Structures are given as C-alpha cells and as structure tokens.
Structure 1
Amino acid sequence: MRASRLVQLLLLLQAHGGTTATVLARELEVSVRTVYRDVEALSAAGVPVYSEPGRGGGVRLVDGYRTRLTGLTIEEADAVLLAGLPGAAADLGLGTVLATAQLKMLAALPPELRGRATRIAERVHIDMPGWFHHPDATPTLATLADAVWHDHRLAIRYRRRDRTVDRVIDPLGLVMKAGTWYLVAREGTDIRSYRASRIDTADATGESFTRPAEFDLAAHWASAADDFARSMLRVRARCRISPEHFALLRLSIDPAAVGETLASAGPPDESGRVEVTVPSESYEVLTHALLSLGDHIEVLDPPELRARMATVAAAMHARYHP
C-alpha cells in the first residue's frame, strides 16, 4: 500500500511541478506528517525531491526530473476508458486504478498539454444518472466485473418480479443505462440482459469460457434495447392531430413510439389534420399521455380508449367546475 502511495506522490509532484504538503495530504488521503515521511523515503531512494519551508514553499522535484514510472498497466489502461465516468469506475472496483492512470497520463504529458488536460477536467463533468434517480445497490457488481474481465463462468441467483431463479452464465459485458448497471451474458445459446441490482449472489464456478468472436456489446445492446422497447408497445390508437403539434406528441408519448407514430401519418384532411397510429404499452398509459395534449388531438379508435378519455376528462371537469 505504501509503495503505491509513494508512486502516486511522485506522479503528483511531476504532474503539478510542486505543491504544498497539505494539498498532497488531501489528494493521498493521509496526514501531512505522513506526506513528509514519504518525501523522506523518496529522497532516500534517490529521487531528487525536496521541501521548501515558509510562504510560497512546498514539496518539489528538481527541475527537469522526470520519472519513468509513467507506463500504464493493463488495469490502468482499462480504467482510462472510464475516465469520463468516475462513478462507473468506482462501481467496477477501478476507482484507485483510474486515479493512478490519470496521474501517469498527466505526468507523461509535456507541460503545455498537461495544463490543457487539467483545464478540461476542471471545466467538464459527466453526470450520467437522471434527476431524482438513486443508483441501485449492486453488491455483486465487482464480482461480475472481474468475471467479465477474465472470461470466468458464474453461477448466479437472480430475482425476477415473481420468483428467484438460479442460472449458470457466461458474462460478456456490463452496460450502464441511465445510471443503472446491466449484465449481458450468455445462458446456453441465448444472450440475455440481467439488471445487476437483482443479482443477489454471483459465484465463480472455476470454469472459463470462450467469448464469441463475433459478439459486439454495443451493437447487441442497441438491438436488444430497441427490440425490448418495441415489445412493450402492445396496444395502438388511431388519432387525428395537426402536424404543427407533432412536437407536443414527441413530449407526451414514449420515445420508442414516436417513430412508428410519425411514420403512420396520412394525408391532411380539409382541416389540415392527419391521422396517426399511436402505440403504447397500455390504454391506461396512453390515456394520460394523450390527455396532456388537450384538444390538440382526437382519439378516433378504439372505443375503449375514447371511453377512458371521456371518463377522465369528465372527472377533471367536475373537480375544477363544481
């Protein structure tokens, strides 16, 4: 642990030129006294590091000194790919590795580029989860990630909505969608997606597997997500709406339904309105989605949905016009 900290201290000094012991202590999450002991250890090891007391002083390397400890390890190179997502890196157990990799990259850059990289980090931050979204608890995520990295087969216990099932899977990849982690894995000949927070246990079987050479995680996820979204659109309504209100329609219905709705638009009638077919997961969802458009849209069919719309509209009228 101390050896790793000494490397981090050396890289911090090389990346920033020199800084105070207080700042170094904060970065390394140790005491100021520990920083000074580490500086002495580096000096005893032949590193030209020194401290300057008083105002404007601090810990510095002799001008022109550059460490050769800037080569990235395999784990650090993996972590660099998650540099824009520090939360994701931490979830996968790569938080400390990512920090070290970033320091190595900064230390390896010439001064003019190092300043630019630092400016970007100070001015750009990526926050993936949506508003009011609390990340799921994922106690098995580090185990899942390790199995993904090393192609290890897992025995998992997975909570479905109605029951818990046991499965033996080949983990192929992890996907973060809107702050939620999903595991993409092969079960037999099928490739499925599992919400990581519902995997209660994950144990290595001691077996390895051969990853499908043709498998593309990003392409698979895009296709699977699109198929899932379309499978949820179980009901459809025939409606009449003016094309100028298509923008309101996009805000009201599920994004997965927008394409089908707009593609179904027929020619305008004498009033300028067009007929569209609006898909949704249920008439209840569709009722509230279309009510938000007020009198800009008219449901033509099915009668069941027209009746629902009329019932809700009448109840709203009674509430606001007693």
Structure 2
Amino acid sequence: MRASRLVSLLLLLQNRGRMTAGQLARELEVSVRTVYRDVQALAAAGIPLYGDAGHAGGYRLVDGYRTRLTGLTADEAQAVFLAALPGAAAELGLGEALAAARLKLTAALPAELRERAGRIQERFLLDAPGWYADADDTPHLAAVAAAVWERRSVVLRYRRWRAPEEIERRVDPYGLVLKAGRWYLVAAGPSGMRTYRVDQIIGLRDLAEEFEPAAGFDLGAYWTGHLAGFRARLHTGEALVRLTPEGARRLGLAPGGDGWTRARVPIESVDHAHGEFLRLGADVEVLEPAELRDRITATVRTLAARYPG
C-alpha cells in the first residue's frame, strides 16, 4: 500500500509541479505527517526532490526529472484519454485503478502531448447510458467480471421474458460488453454461445473450475455478428406508408418533393409499429398491412370519441 502511495506522490509532483504538504495530503487522503515521511523515503531512494519553505513553498522535483513514454503520437494520446469510461470502470471495481493509470500515463507523456490530452479531458465527456432509463441494478457484475478475468466456469440463475422465467445454467464466461449503459455477458453454454443481460442475473455460483476458450474466438467479431442477427430478427415485416415531408424527415427518409412520399419501411411487429406510427400523428398514413391500418383506425376513432371537438 505504501509503495503505491509513494508512486502516486511522485507522479503528482511530475504532473503538477510544486505542491505543498497539505495539497499532497488531500490528494492522497493521508495526514501531513505521512506526507513528510513519504517525501523523506523518496529522497532516501535517490529521487531528486526538494522542499521550499515559506508561504509560496512546497515540494517539487528537480527540473528535467521525468519518465517519458515514447512512441505515442498526439492522436494516440488523445484517443487514450477519450476512450476512458470512469463510470464503467467504477462498476467493475476498477475506478481507483483507472484513476491511477491515467495519472501515470499523464506523468509519462512529453509536455506537448500532456497538454493535448488535458484539453481532451476538459472538452469531451463520454456518458454511455441513455436519457430515459435508470441505471441498471447489477449486483453480480463484479463477480461476473472476476469469472471472465480468471476464466472460471459459473452457474447462473437467470431471469428471462419467456417461460420458464427463471433458469439455472452452467456457462463459461468469455467476455463482458457495455452497450448503451447496459452490461451484457457473452458466455458458452450447453446450446452454444449466448448473450445474457447482467442485470437479469439473480444468482451466481463460482465453480472454481478453469475453462479454455474456443480457439480463435474474437469478442468484437462475435458482438458485431450478434447485433446483425438481432436486427435481422427484430425487423421481420414491413409496412407500406404515405408520409408528409415532415414525416419522411422524422423517419430518416428523403422527402419526395412537397407532396406525399410512399415508402416501405421495416417493422418489428404490428404491436410495435402501431405505437411508433401513432407518434408521427397526421404526418403518416399506413396503407399496408391491413391489420396495422385497422389497429390505427380503431385507435384514432377511440381518441376522437374521447376528445370530441
């Protein structure tokens, strides 16, 4: 623990220049007395730092003392800081590790790259979750992540939407994916590779048995294929509609001049399309399928009776 704190103290001085004992104590969450002892330990180890007395004093490193990280371009340095997701790291129990890693990387960068990386942190923020959804409750995420990291088989108790609603399944956890603020587990089981929502895991038992992943498995390639298959299964039908220019714009279609545009659009189901097309109001007319047109007609009549003019 102390060794890690000494490294953090050194990197703080490299990143920020002169700092007082009080500032260092607040950053490291220790007492000023502990900072004094740590500074003495670094000096005894040959680190060229010294302290200035007085109101504007503090500790700093001898000019020019810096560990440099070579081989990174400016764009690469920016990308490293842009890619960091503190929220996701915290959920995995790696929040402190991420903060320490970024501190070390910042300290190691040459001055020019360090300045550009700092501008990235000032001007860009990645916020993964969607607007209209609360954060998922994922009490088993840390245990799942540990099993993924250690390549250990587990038994999941899982809640799903179809019967039986609760199942128990032994799986080999290959990887975790964060998609739109939601965690997914990719795992091999009795029926092949499957994807599980981590927030639907209601129980997990670690079997303490290591497994060997399939040769050549690529998590990124699997996920790309999974998404493509999901979209293909999602849009199983289509509807023929007429759209005003505004309706076409809202559906991401090119308007056909100033008049109505006829288009065939993929739909997930009649139930889902019914709600989606109602949101377009008078900017859409459904022509086919007849079942969908009849559903919308019945809804409009009900609304007209409920809100008489």
Q: What is the TM-score of this pair, normalised by structure 1? A: 0.79
Letter of the 1:39 partner, please give it: V
Distance 2:50 2:202 in 1: 51
Distance 1:48 1:135 in 2: 47
Alignment of 1:130-209 (within 5 A): 130-161=130-161, 162=163, 163-188=165-190, 190-209=192-211
Letter of the 2:102 partner, please give it: Q
Distance 1:87 1:160 in 2: 26
Distance 2:63 2:81 in 1: 31
Letter of the 1:290 partner, please give it: F
Measure how far apart 1:208 and its partner are.
1.8
Deviations 1:160-191 (Å, cap 9, x if unpaired)?
Answer: 23532221111111100111110001113510
**Compared with structure 1, are the counterparts of its residues 133 and 242 closer, same or farther at alpha carbon in structure 2 (3 Å cutoff)?**
closer
Letter of the 2:277 partner, please give it: L
Aligned to 1:286: 273
**Compared with structure 1, are the counterparts of its residues 21 and 124 closer, same or farther at alpha carbon in structure 2 (3 Å cutoff)?**
farther
CA contact (8 A) 2:81 2:120 kept: no
**Compared with structure 1, are the counterparts of its residues 123 and 18 closer, same or farther at alpha carbon in structure 2 (3 Å cutoff)?**
farther
Measure how far apart 1:83 and its partner are.
5.1
Aligned length, in residue pairs? 296
CA contact (8 A) 1:237 1:300 kept: yes
CA contact (8 A) 2:153 2:173 kept: yes
CA contact (8 A) 2:82 2:121 kept: no
Distance 2:153 2:82 in 1: 24
Aligned to 1:77: none
Letter of the 2:95 partner, please give it: G
Distance 1:216 1:311 in 2: 49
Q: Give secondary structure in 2 for the equivalent of 1:46.
A: coil
Letter of the 2:160 partner, please give it: R
Measure how far apart 1:115 and its partner are.
2.2
Aligned to 1:226: 228
Distance 1:82 1:279 in 2: 36
Letter of the 1:186 partner, please give it: A
Structure 1 spans left out of the alignment, 5+ residues: 71-79, 251-257, 263-267
Q: Give secondary structure in 2 for the equivalent of 1:60.
A: strand
Letter of the 1:91 partner, please give it: E
**Compared with structure 1, are the counterparts of its residues 315 and 141 closer, same or farther at alpha carbon in structure 2 (3 Å cutoff)?**
same
Are residues 1:321 and 2:308 paired?
yes
Are residues 1:274 and 2:262 paired?
yes
Measure how far apart 1:51 and its partner are.
2.8
**Compared with structure 1, are the counterparts of its residues 321 and 231 closer, same or farther at alpha carbon in structure 2 (3 Å cutoff)?**
same
Measure how far apart 1:234 and its partner are.
4.9
Aligned to 1:239: 241
CA contact (8 A) 1:153 1:207 kept: yes
Deviations 1:42-84 (Å, cap 9, x if unpaired)?
Answer: 23433333333433322211223346999xxxxxxxxx79952
Distance 1:179 1:273 in 2: 36
Distance 1:133 1:25 in 2: 39
Aligned to 1:75: none
Q: Give secondary structure in 2 for the equivalent of 1:192.
A: strand
Aligned to 1:43: 43
CA contact (8 A) 1:83 1:98 kept: no
Measure how far apart 1:23 and its partner are.
3.5
Distance 2:268 2:175 in 1: 30
Deviations 1:131-163 (Å, cap 9, x if unpaired)?
Answer: 243221222222222222232222222222353
Aligned to 2:120: 120
Aligned to 2:85: 85
Distance 1:225 1:17 in 2: 48
**Percent identity of the aligned residues?**
50
Aligned to 2:75: none
Aligned to 1:295: 282
Distance 1:206 1:82 in 2: 36
**Compared with structure 1, are the counterparts of its residues 178 and 203 closer, same or farther at alpha carbon in structure 2 (3 Å cutoff)?**
same
Aligned to 1:307: 294
Q: Give secondary structure in 2 for the equivalent of 1:38.
A: helix
CA contact (8 A) 2:43 2:49 kept: yes
Are residues 1:57 and 2:57 paired?
yes
Aligned to 2:216: 214
Measure how far apart 1:85 and its partner are.
0.8
